[in-house]
Amino acid sequence: MLIRYGYEMTFGCAAPTPMVCQLDVHPSCSPAIRAETPFASNPRVESWLYSDVFGNRCRRFLAPPGDLTISNYGVVEVSDRPDPVVPDAAEIPVADLPDETLLYLVGSRYVETDKLSQLAWDHFGHTASGWPRVQAICDFVNAHITFGYENARSTRTAYEAYVERTGVCRDFAHLALAFCRCMNIPARYANGYLGDIGVPPDPAPMDFNAWFEVFLGGKWYTFDARHNMPRIGRILIARGRDAADIPLVNSFGPHVLKTFSVVTEETDSVASPPLAGVPSRSAA
């Protein structure tokens, strides 16, 4: 299956402002890219890529005073099958976990395992271990939180999402992966593109999505507490402990995100035209 993906964003800055954006697709997707335009900006700025400690691509540039529009788009080939479901994938005892997974068992900026540990055991201590337990967590979070863009808040933590019972996809992911960590299941945050493929189209303008991954049976598996069903066509951008590790845009000075457009859709051609006609979302 071929999927056309891309974004266009416009920032306003009062002064030269260093920025780091995590908008390039993850290196693991590179072999599947069939066409891609270079990063573009108006006015033109010099940019370069480096890898962060999690292996994600980070693009660095200096935004000039005034408006700056950046964009990138391409076509990637992905499986036409939904996210794998492996009901017998088992939990691994902490003592036997690989060293590199232990980072995803502890608290982080948006994931207060100390506040949520007892709640997690109260809710899920009785559930069957492994895949069924993670699915029970997704079922709970999906029913517990009401989704709404009007309820977005960049500072909301997993515990606050539990108490407030509202949020956007990142809040669903934070709370679910927090519960997993509390139950001694390594879990990490992920974001990227996810189009309306194989599901009824969402009338809202397209946006980036957040989900999470858990380590079961010696492998990382994708879970999505917001949609709570296997989906087709995920394109990974970045992974980290939580959203603080992989912000789409990180500026070292004030800026205003004026508009942005995102596209993720099935296509039958490797041609990747610009985002003309894609609805823009006002950041205001």
Structure tokens at 156: 């909301």
For residues 117 and 182, give the distance between their C-alpha atoms in angstroms, rounded to a whole number.
5
CB atoms inside a 10 Å sphere around CB 216: 23
Query: Has residue 277 got a pLDDT over 70?
Result: no
Find the helix or strand (DSSP H, E) in which 149 lies.
none
**Given this model, what pLDDT does residue 283 score?**
43
Q: Is the pTM of this model over 0.85?
A: yes
**Rounded to the nearest 5°, which phi and psi values hold at 157?**
-95, 175
For residues 235 and 77, give the distance between their C-alpha atoms in angstroms, rounded to a whole number.
10
Structure tokens at 171: 């809040």
Query: Has residue 31 got a pLDDT over 60?
Result: yes
Integer CA distances (angstroms), 187 to 129, 180, 198, in order: 15, 6, 26
Query: Has residue 111 got a pLDDT over 70?
Result: yes
Full set of structural domains in the chain with CATH = 2-78+247-282 (2.60.40.2250), 94-233 (3.10.620.30)
Band the pLDDT of 284: cuts 50, 70, 90: very low
What is the share, in percent, of the chain residues with pLDDT greater than 70? 95
Cα angle, residue 31 at apex, residues 29 and 34 outer, rounded to 5°: 95
For residues 75 and 272, give the distance between their C-alpha atoms in angstroms, rounded to a whole number.
6
Average pLDDT over residues 32-54: 96
